[in-house]
Amino acid sequence: MLAARDVVMQFGGVRALDGVSFEVGTDELVAVIGPNGAGKTSLMNCLSGFYRPQKGVIEFDGVPLSARGVHQVARAGLARTFQGTHVFSGMTVIENIMIGRHMHMRSTIADAFAHFGRARTEEFRHRETVEEIIELLEMESIRHRPVGTLGYGLRKRVDLGRALAQEPKILLMDEPMAGMNTEEKEDLARFILDVREARGIPVVLVEHDMGVVMDLADRVVVLDFGRMIAEGTPAEVQRDPAVLKAYLGENR
């Protein structure tokens, strides 16, 4: 579904990514981990079409990303959640999730006047999808709450809901657990598993903390100084000497 082939991303003299290659299958949860400055954010930005790597190719569903702009990548079925919370605080939970439907909306304002029935049917269909997401992510009781009044964990859940509303073919999550307490992390992990079961889509999870991906990932890719230093099952990676060394030496 998604493949990076020999990707190089350079900022001045710094090689944030130095020949990174890996693939994500149609039903896999792949975690990309690495210590500070390993290149995780750069990789996430390349995979989602925000950055154009200087070298190498990223293919999504068999098509190179370079052939598409960021919006086309999203339209083609790639959704992403962001670091921190990228939600509209003054808008309600439903309204924020509805934003994810934007790219599926066909009716224009002119349509709304000329073909009132069609616009209304479409609105109804979008609301149905949004309601399914609200149920899946257990947000029934907060659906009309302004997102700014919610705690951090719930705001992240709304961000996930917005990404799911795009009905993506693949979901990319950028450090979703960062800044969360243990309970919030456990909740989100459970929802990620529920999403996989309900939608059957592959997920790429970029995460600093090795611990949180161990129970979630099918496969783990480890970056350090822009290079891929290990790849394997969580158990394999956890005991890999190069990985242990990279994490131990984090305060370098």
Ligand X SMILES: Nc1ncnc2c1ncn2[C@@H]1O[C@H](COP(=O)(O)OP(=O)(O)OP(=O)(O)O)[C@@H](O)[C@H]1O
Gap between the Cα atoms of 102 and 166, Å rounded:
8
Instruction: Please pick, from the candidates 3, 24, 33, 34, the single residue that binds ligand X as defined by CB under 6 A.
Output: 34
Q: Which amino acid, residue 60? A: F
Site string for ligand X, 137-176 (x = CB under 6 A): ----------------------------------------
Pair 231, 217: CB distance under 8 Å? no
Please, which residue, 16 or 163, has the CB nearer to ligand X?
16
Tokens representing 210 are 């090795």
Give CA torsion, residues 156, 162, 163, 168, to 10 deg: 150
Instruction: Please pick, from the candidates 28, 29, 40, 177, the single residue that binds ligand X as defined by CB under 6 A.
Output: 40
Instruction: Please pick, from the candidates 39, 53, 100, 202, the single residue that binds ligand X as defined by CB under 6 A.
Output: 39
In the complex, the smallest distance separating the C-beta of residue 83 from ligand X, rounded to whole angstroms, is 8
Site string for ligand X, 186-215 (x = CB under 6 A): ----------------------x-------
Q: Which amino acid, residue 43? A: L
Q: Binding to ligand X by residue 19, rule CB under 6 A?
A: no
In the complex, the smallest distance separating the C-beta of residue 41 from ligand X, rounded to whole angstroms, is 3
Gap between the Cα atoms of 96 and 87, Å rounded:
7
Task: Tell me which residue of 55, 52, 66, 51 sits closest to 19, measured CA to CA.
Answer: 55
Gap between the Cα atoms of 229 and 167, Å rounded:
33
Q: Binding to ligand X by residue 16, rule CB under 6 A?
A: yes
Tokens representing 132 are 């399914």
Piece of 8-16, 67-75, 147-155, 192-200 that binds ligand X (CB under 6 A): 8-16
Binding site for ligand X (CB under 6 A): 11, 14, 16, 34, 36-42, 208
